[in-house]
Structure 1
């Protein structure tokens, strides 16, 4: 039976795709339905029809799934920030566990019976966990200032100051900044025209220190009339850092590279476990410190260090995993291509009085062989935590060439993880342990830690 655009059908949602969309069949024809939950019976309208599958809009839930819950956030559906709020948390964890398993079998080619998967580590409180939020500021068609997050796959702002993934301080900051802009007739950035002053508001919060940072990203050199803004922001308990960041480029990159201090200091401090970090508006830092600690403790457990190992941490960023490993290893070497991150890593090592961690700027595939050949620095354990696109093949080849006893692979995308594990397991390694960690509750993303051991 041919299905066409605008057809209305009723179907049962039997599976879920990688992006959290429900999957159901109508007379053998597969439909992907955003906002539908596995187990729902739904009425849908076809928006796009291909030969063997189509995309449909959820018109109404006829019979709700036993896993369907009322989202905490009233705009969870139009907003692009969360994908899974209508699904119970237990089911979210099951979905993520299956996502890791499916990627390892389908993309990695590992038989399911051979995958040593351990239960996913979930959160005690799966809301209010993000320590960073960036809110774009725009004027609507009537000239009113609005802020919020973009609707999925667009640059249309869903007007909302209360995000349930972030901290309550976010809403207070937004109320103060927008009221100040309105009083002083300060303009919001216009993406299309490239004019207007305030582009974004970046807010960071130290969960362990309760310190708050506010940075206004501006399309100009400086802000005027800031006295009452500073006065009002300082009313928020924990306010530590108020800055501006200049970004005058017509681009969708959020931050510029120049930070100016308005009040306080240019950084806040936070801890992951016992390790202290100084975070500036430009620092890369994990957005969920509670689960980052869980993830890093899992990586540390997998590395099973006894105090006499040399460990290489590739894609080390600001040294978060390196400093964690340094507590148990003899020597840690971190490699990262971004010079500012390496500067932060060295500073964080000093801050924590960690002397057995050394950092190099460059590509792992250049630094490792060079140190091995010139200084005979080998690797007992290699830890990798690459960006979403996974490891370059040249990095995988370098790891194989270094022949570490163990490789601990930390991944934010289990599809590229599966691809890379397939390659490493073809070249002398076997997968011994693997575990998901839910670092981004209410969204489809899942972190994974994996232990590979060299075959004898």
Structure 2
């Protein structure tokens, strides 16, 4: 049977009405039932578009002009918003961003988890949804005869050079501007992806909001850093609050930012920050939430859902450097944290000691292997907390939790789609999802985190 051709053609110009938004923030229009995805278009708008790509079931359009504007459309304050791929929805007012993110979570709860009646609470947003990121990772390149540093353009590896990013703390901007200028003055070659030549690959800045401390990480292709002493001296002179200058060596052809070797060039191995009076030592490669203000709200909601009385044994799977574990330890009898990354467990133990928390035990390994071993040793959890990566929980871990039958499971998620998939498995295994609360950790972007509360069916 011959496939029916799409009702639109590439390079055709059309006037369409936007009906919805995708999870990537693109407007959705329909032409004779055929879906067209148009970035920067908002629901309710009538827009002129140019068709740029067609596939069998859907196509893509480029926004040419907005004829009828949405009441939620605003002028993006960032001058490079339409070029940069870092933010997707700066053109939408913040109340509409929160409503859009709540709808994202509701949609997957019905479509994927098959739980359309589970309450999805309003998104916990920010009072000021700007300048919230405490970590900046900026690629460096040589373009048109000049060293540039910025973020990648949408769907490309071409860098949009920038002087500031208004979702980053200003301290991170100072680091990027300083390192970029020093690299130019000292003629340190930028890394060139295609030829695998050059020196400076990424500039990474970390900022402790409660302490004012700054860490500068120079990711280089080789260990040899030209004009190293002058580089260090320039950073110390121009970056207020700097306590650590670190070099990470990554000599592989890869999109991964960090290599395996990290050397402290000057200062401390760590910077410090606090969330809800818990102090954390953060190294160059530590995972630490980039929005501490919202992390406090996210973890407070997780603590609320854990419903601890002080008598419970809690297991924190995917514990990282112990951020959630130490929150939980203040209310639990004992917390056991497991994480596959050895360096993270070293940091977790250090952070427990730093806060004089003695009722937390940490182990290296895969959760689905370590937790059954604890079970064999007589360690049974009343509550299990999971905070997995975007791909969600390993299925073996889900099966392990179902077999262990803790009274409560608290699921912290950075991906509503995999959260919904895993909730379906847990529901089929005997758990009931009580409610889900989304938290806006990344304003101006399409990303949304969520916390789900589950109880065992009695």
Does structure 2 conserve the Cα–Cα contact (< 8 Å) formed by 1:406 and 1:454?
yes
Structure 1 equivalent of residue 456 of structure 2: 454
SS in 2 for 1:379: coil
The answer to which of 75-84 and 235-244 deviates more is 235-244
2:249 to 246, 250, 253: 246
Q: Which moved more, 1:182-191 or 1:22-31?
A: 22-31
TM-score, normalised to structure 1, is 0.97
Distance 2:177 2:422 in 1: 46
Select 2:283's aligned residue among 270, 280, 284.
Answer: 280
Flag structure 2 segments of 5+ consecutive residues without an equivalent: 1-5
Q: Which runs of 4+ in 1 moved over 4 A?
A: none
1:217-254 CA distances to partner (integer Å, 9 max, x unpaired)? 11111324234433332233211111211112222211
Residues in 2 aligned to 1:223 and 1:343: alpha-carbon distance in whole angstroms: 28
**C-alpha distance in structure 1 between counterparts of 2:300 and 2:217, whole Å:** 31
Structure 1, residues 243-276: CA drift from partner, whole Å, max 9, x if none? 2111122222111222222222121101111111
Do the aligned residues in 2 keep the contact of 1:317 with 1:336 (CA within 8 Å)? Answer: yes
Residues 56-101 of structure 1: CA distance to partner in whole angstroms, max 9, x if unpaired? 1111112211110000101112211001110000000000000000
Q: Which moved more, 1:162-171 or 1:194-203?
A: 162-171
Matches within 5 A, 1:129-140: 129-140=132-143
Structure 2 matches for 1:75-94, cutoff 5 A?
75-94=80-99
Structure 1 stretches lacking a partner, 5+ long? none
Q: Which residue of 2 aligns with 1:203?
A: 205
2:42 alignment partner, one of 37, 42, 60: 37
Partners of 1:252 and 1:411 in 2: CA distance: 24
Contact 2:27 2:39 in 1 (8 A): yes
| Residues 1:59 and 2:64 are matched in the alignment | yes
Paired residues of 1:326 and 1:332 also in contact (CA < 8 A): yes
The match for 1:11 among 16, 26, 51 is 16
| Counterpart residue number, 1:328 | 331
TM-score, scaled to structure 2:
0.96
Q: Give the distance between the partners of 2:35 and 2:249, measured in 1 at CA.
A: 48
CA root-mean-square deviation? 1.3
**Matched positions, count:** 452
Write the distance in 2 (CA, Å) between the matches of 1:361 and 1:261: 25
- Residue 419 (str. 1) matches residue 421 (str. 2): yes
How many angstroms apart in 2 are the aligned matches of 1:378 and 1:171?
A: 47
| Separation of aligned partners in 2, 1:325 and 1:175 | 39
Match of 1:97 in 2: 102
CA distance in 2, matches of 1:455, 1:29: 43
Aligned partner of 1:406 in structure 2 is: 408
Which residue among 40, 46, 49 is the counterpart of 2:51?
Answer: 46
Check the 8 A contact 2:139/2:201 in 1, yes or no: yes
- SS in structure 1 opposite 2:8? coil
Alpha carbons 1:188, 1:197 under 8 Å: kept? yes
Answer yes or no: is the 8 Å Cα contact 1:176–1:229 preserved in 2: no
